[in-house]
């Protein structure tokens, strides 16, 4: 009995490594170091690529001219390429009316369904032109409204790496992989995603991340592992829902 419980916990405990703000302009020195680290530990991360980056903060970083060639190389290694917004430029403020209630600036919230579809298609077209397969999405600043979800569904993207919960779940035809904390934290149970902003990292952040990977290597899961585990069960959805407020509190404490 106990070994069964133990196995169940082991099988359902893991973390997906999600990198944010992957674009032509970024901290390429640290990215090179991370690539070697992922290779060494056989980790398949999710890379949140901004297809048409126009964010002036990000444009200040060094530019890689053969960026899309690099993205194809990552994709051929089995690393998951996710769409992280379209231009990464905030155009509205959700004023806490966004789906997850985080509030703040948004590229998508409060825009009409038609406009959101145009924006998402625009981004997806860029990936198609570059012959890169995309199966998932996460919005800049975690801000979505119901139209964002409808627009994604209409564009054939049903996997969202964001939101609350301790376990991936399906809801309204979409799969959600929770993203809970600002720092890398391994929970004793559940499967969720990191958010890593390389551009803001200092050398010590890299060292800490390396330690985290070494310590939890066995619990690091790939995007495909997670898709196989996504449950539509009401039980999982209820647990996630019940934990929503606890996680909201921890998030405001910037864990």
Of the candidates 169, 189, 196, 182, the one whose C-alpha atom is nearest the C-alpha of residue 43 is: 196
Question: If residue 56 lies in a helix (H) or strand (E), which one and from where to where?
Answer: helix 56-59
d(CA 42, CA 2): 31
Is residue 145 within the footprint of Zn ion (CB under 5 A)? no
Task: Single out the segment in contact with Zn ion by CB under 5 A; choices: 114-122, 137-145, 156-164, 231-239.
Answer: 137-145
Q: Which residues pair with 84 in a beta bridge?
A: 138
Residues 146-175 contacting Zn ion, CB under 5 A: none
Judged on CB neighbours under 10 Å (0-12, 13-18, 19+), 148 is: buried
Is residue 123 within the footprint of Zn ion (CB under 5 A)? no
Is residue 184 within the footprint of Zn ion (CB under 5 A)? no
Task: Single out the segment in contact with Zn ion by CB under 5 A; choices: 95-103, 118-126, 134-142, 211-219.
Answer: 134-142
Residues 6-35 contacting Zn ion, CB under 5 A: 20-21
Q: What is the nearest approach in angstroms of Zn ion to the Cβ of residue 12?
A: 28
Would you list the DSSP string of 81-149? EEEE-SS----EE-TT-STT---SEESSTTS-HHHHHHHHHHHHHHHHHTT----EEE-GGG---HHHH
Q: What is the nearest approach in angstroms of Zn ion to the Cβ of residue 195?
A: 8
Of the candidate residues 140, 165, 168, 178, the single one contacting Zn ion (CB under 5 A):
140
Q: What is the nearest approach in angstroms of Zn ion to the Cβ of residue 139?
A: 8
Are residues 81 and 143 in contact, defined by beta-carbon separation less than 8 angstroms? no
Q: What is the nearest approach in angstroms of Zn ion to the Cβ of residue 19?
A: 10
Rank residues 14 and 140 by Cβ distance to Zn ion and give the closer one: 140
Q: Which residues bind Zn ion (CB under 5 A)?
A: 20-21, 140
């Amino acid at each position: 009995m106990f070994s069964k419980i133990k196995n169940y916990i082991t099988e359902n405990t893991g973390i997906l490594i999600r990198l944010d703000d992957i674009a032509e302009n970024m901290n390429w020195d640290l990215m090179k170091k991370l690539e070697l680290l992922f290779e060494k530990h056989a980790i398949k991360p999710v890379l949140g690529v901004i297809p048409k980056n126009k964010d002036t903060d990000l444009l200040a970083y060094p530019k890689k001219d053969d960026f899309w060639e690099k993205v194809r190389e990552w994709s051929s290694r089995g690393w998951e390429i996710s769409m992280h917004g379209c231009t990464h430029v905030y155009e509205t403020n959700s004023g806490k009316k966004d789906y997850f209630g985080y509030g703040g600036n948004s590229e998508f919230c409060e825009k009409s369904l038609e406009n959101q579809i145009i924006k998402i298609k625009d981004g997806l077209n860029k990936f198609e032109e570059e012959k890169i397969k995309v199966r998932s999405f996460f919005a800049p600043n975690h801000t979505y409204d119901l139209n964002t979800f409808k627009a994604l569904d209409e564009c054939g993207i049903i996997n969202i790496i964001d939101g609350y919960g301790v376990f991936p779940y399906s809801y309204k035809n979409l799969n959600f992989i929770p993203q809970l904390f600002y720092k890398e934290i391994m929970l004793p149970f559940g499967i969720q995603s990191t958010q890593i902003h390389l551009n803001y990292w200092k050398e010590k952040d890299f060292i800490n991340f390396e330690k985290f990977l070494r310590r939890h290597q066995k619990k690091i899961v790939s995007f495909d592992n997670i898709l196989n585990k996504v449950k539509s069960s009401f039980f999982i959805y209820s647990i996630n829902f019940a934990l929503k407020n606890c996680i909201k509190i921890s998030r405001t404490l910037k864990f």
